[in-house]
Structure 1
């Protein structure tokens, strides 16, 4: 347990995680700066996940672990909210059940929050590994195209500009201050829902992010991942559109604008950027099936420059034209 005045919580989101969760828990207990509590919110329908962590609960570090079992299958968003609500620390680290944290992760990211009391969130880089923790040769930042130039831009208080174009972080590498939960929670009930998109936009709009390129997590890639970050192939793009990602992003922006109206009232620039993002995502969700009309709609969005402020530029525009879902 830390001797620091500022207490640290880890919010571990679990669901059918018996295969890898013990290894993840051990990596949390091997940190050079131990957390003050590890909150495990379990959404499993069976007892195997609990059986995997029971030796830790009953062991010498059992006092650090708070186990919370959902009464039924609540889903990833509700499970994440449940974990966050039970955290008492000033610094809260989100944690997947199947990764491995390198020993200095909590120490490095806590120091980042210590250094800038005005910012509400930090995130780090990850090494992508297979199910046996063998490296794939890539990092998360490389896979997502989050370049050194973009990292410097984000660290110069341009978080929102970055996050409106692409989500730069992943929930397994995020740490936020307790006060950020005031505007992060409750999370919108949308399907599909990705917590890192919502948390990323909230902190970017109402505070700032800081990032480090230091690799502090082994992100385990396997068949049961809830999402595989940074997939850029055609199949992934087609799935994103079939899931109505632009319509979901529009709803996220509208929810943020509505919920944080008072907080955003003093920052007209942030409000304008969020409104522009909402317009762009709404327009993308309404493209015509007719390819000529769709081409004209996309050209108008390109002329407005919203593709370059609110999406991934030409790549998003070409993807919208070629891979537009034919299902309504």
Structure 2
């Protein structure tokens, strides 16, 4: 049975970039059945540009357009939550205002869902481009330093374990079954929308990845969330940065996910619940490390020996960060 697609498009002052994105959606086969546009207080011609471009593409009578205008703005996560709540069809494709979909993207992803009833969420790589859509010679997965073992684990049904360590799912590349919202709503305020959807989906169903780019992911000064591979000097600077409250924020995120998984009861495998509890303990350990670097060394070595840095973070990267950060 053919599955219909809703596009959840969130905008904020995107008039400059939206024509390319809307045109790239209009050339998809099959066309999406609707675009749910949730605009976060734009002061430019965003809404008019979307309507005009749809009309120019000649698909306004085939692709329904539903518009929400937020005053005051909701922020990225709440804006996307509003958009996906309003989507009507079986599959939901998340969409940023400043990207461009590759030809055949929708058909490629929809086919995966039609062939695999257990598939709950699917994401892909993306080609990094500049403000004028010129390729930067890199991809999103390269910028994130995604490892072949991580992709293999996701393909093998082990996405939850991968996402325990770090998020690899970027919303602009993502499609999911609308039924996911039965458990993912409301989005936890501690999380970004795409990371939350991926984590919940991996806990209750199958998450998979297409390792090839299916969109052009635009990198420019106005990106709310972008992607770029850090240089060695930038990594060193990050390692010696102030600890601040980021570890406390990560603890709150882990606790929020654990709470949701507990609420879902038997839908979540017991092993996943136990793993998330251990993740909370690890994040609490990191949040409560002493300010003085010498006092951190022994507890960090003990935690590393227990395997938790490797299981719940990026191993040596995280150990170095905890040893070197100031404060």
Structure 1 residues 87-98: aligned runs within 5 Å: 87-98=87-98
Taking structure 1 as reference, are residues 297 and 314 closer, same or farther at Cα in structure 2, changes over 3 Å only? same
Where does the alignment leave 5 or more consecutive residues of structure 2 unmatched? none
State the secondary structure of the residue aligned to 2:257.
helix
Quote the offset at 1:68 in angstroms: 1.4
Does the CA-based 8 Å contact 1:183-1:260 persist in structure 2?
no
Q: Please give the root-mean-square deviation of Cα atoms over the aligned residues, in Å.
A: 2.1
Q: Relative to structure 2, which stretch is displaced further, 156-165 or 240-249?
A: 240-249
How far apart are 1:157 and its partner, in Å?
0.8
CA deviation map 1:239-260 (0-9, x unaligned): 9976634333322232222223
Write out per-residue CA displacement over residues 189-223 of structure 1, whole angstroms, 9 at most, x where no aligned residue: 23xx4222212211111212111112110000001
> TM-score, length-normalised on structure 1?
0.91
Q: Give the structure 2 partner of residue 16 of structure 1.
A: 13
Q: Distance in 2 between matches of 1:97 and 1:239?
A: 35
| C-alpha distance in 2 between matches for 1:242 and 1:104 | 44
Map of 2:23 onto structure 1: 26
Q: 2:215 aligns with which of 214, 217, 223?
A: 217
SS at match of 1:62: coil
* Residue in 1 that maps onto 2:253: 252
The structure-2 alpha-carbon separation of the partners of 1:243 and 1:31, relative to structure 1 and needing over 3 Å to count, comes to farther
Q: Judge which range, 75-84 or 205-214, deviates more.
A: 205-214
Counterparts in 2 of 1:103 and 1:240: CA distance versus 1, 3 Å: farther
CA distance in 1, matches of 2:271, 2:94: 30
Distance 2:11 2:307 in 1: 41
Q: Residue 56 of structure 1 contacts residue 62 of structure 1 at CA under 8 Å; is this kept in 2?
A: no
Instruction: Show the counterpart of 2:305.
Output: 303
Which residue number in structure 1 is paired with residue 160 of structure 2?
Answer: 160
Deviation for aligned residue 1:48: 2.3
SS at match of 1:103: coil
TM-superposed CA distance for 1:182, in Å, is 1.3
Where does structure 1 lack aligned partners over 5 or more consecutive residues? none
Most deviating of 298-307 and 89-98: 298-307
- Provide the secondary structure at the position in 1 that maps to 2:264: helix
Q: Work out the CA distance in 2 between the residues paired with 1:243 and 1:21.
A: 37
Aligned residues: 320
Match of 1:278 in 2: 280
What TM-score, normalized to structure 2? 0.91
Q: How far off is 1:58 after superposition? A: 4.9
Query: Which has the higher mean CA deviation after the structures are superposed, 230-239 or 73-82?
Result: 230-239
Structure 1 pair 242/51, CA: closer, same or farther in 2 (3 Å)?
farther
